[in-house]
């Protein structure tokens, strides 16, 4: 795997602006690199970053975020704040094994387990309490 200038720029943009859609990333890369960046180019950069375990795709938001545990390829649970859009990644092998075991018992083979939970982060909850 090679971290090209484009891939590095994509990683930095996701880190700075995540969660970010592929099309917003493409626009940011065009500005940053001062050159044409087409959708396939942006998607290939994102696919590379995902395969390297640096970025995760938020299926429910069609967006991408920096992983809390870079390089970890194991699926994890993503907690998504509905207010500030922060994302926290939980690595719970026991939970993932439980889901895979239940799926196998039903004769279902998991391809890509994605677990996303929406709610309110502690900071936003505390701010709501203060504003009351």
Query: Can you give the pLDDT at residue 4?
Result: 93
CB 77 within 8 A of CB 95: yes
Answer whether 121's CB lies under 8 Å from 81's CB.
yes
13-47: pLDDT as tens digits = 999 998 999 999 999 999 999 999 999 999 999 99
Domain with CATH 3.30.1490.190 in the chain: 75-132
Whether the model clears a pTM of 0.85, i.e. scores above it, the answer is no
Instruction: Report the CATH architecture of 75-132.
Output: 2-Layer Sandwich (3.30)
CA-based nearest residue to 65, from 48, 86, 93, 43: 86
> Quick one: DSSP state of residue 117?
E
Looking at the chain, the domain(s) classified CATH 1.10.10.10 span: 1-73
Q: Beta strands 63-66 and 55-58: pairing type?
A: antiparallel
State the pLDDT at residue 76.
Answer: 79
Domain 1-73 CATH assignment equals 3.40.50.720 = no
């Amino acid at each position: 795997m090679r971290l090209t200038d484009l891939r590095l720029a994509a990683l930095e943009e996701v880190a700075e602006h995540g969660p970010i859609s592929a099309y917003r990333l493409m626009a940011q890369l065009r500005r940053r690199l001062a050159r044409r960046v087409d959708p396939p180019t942006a998607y290939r950069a994102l696919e590379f970053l995902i395969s390297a375990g640096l970025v995760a795709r938020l299926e429910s938001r069609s967006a991408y975020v920096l992983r809390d545990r870079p390089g970890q390829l194991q699926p994890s649970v993503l907690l998504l704040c509905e207010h500030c859009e922060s994302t926290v990644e939980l690595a719970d092998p026991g939970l993932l094994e439980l889901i895979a075991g239940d799926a196998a018992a039903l004769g279902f083979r998991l391809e890509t387990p994605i677990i996303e939970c929406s709610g309110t982060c502690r900071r936003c909850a505390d701010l709501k309490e203060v504003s009351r």
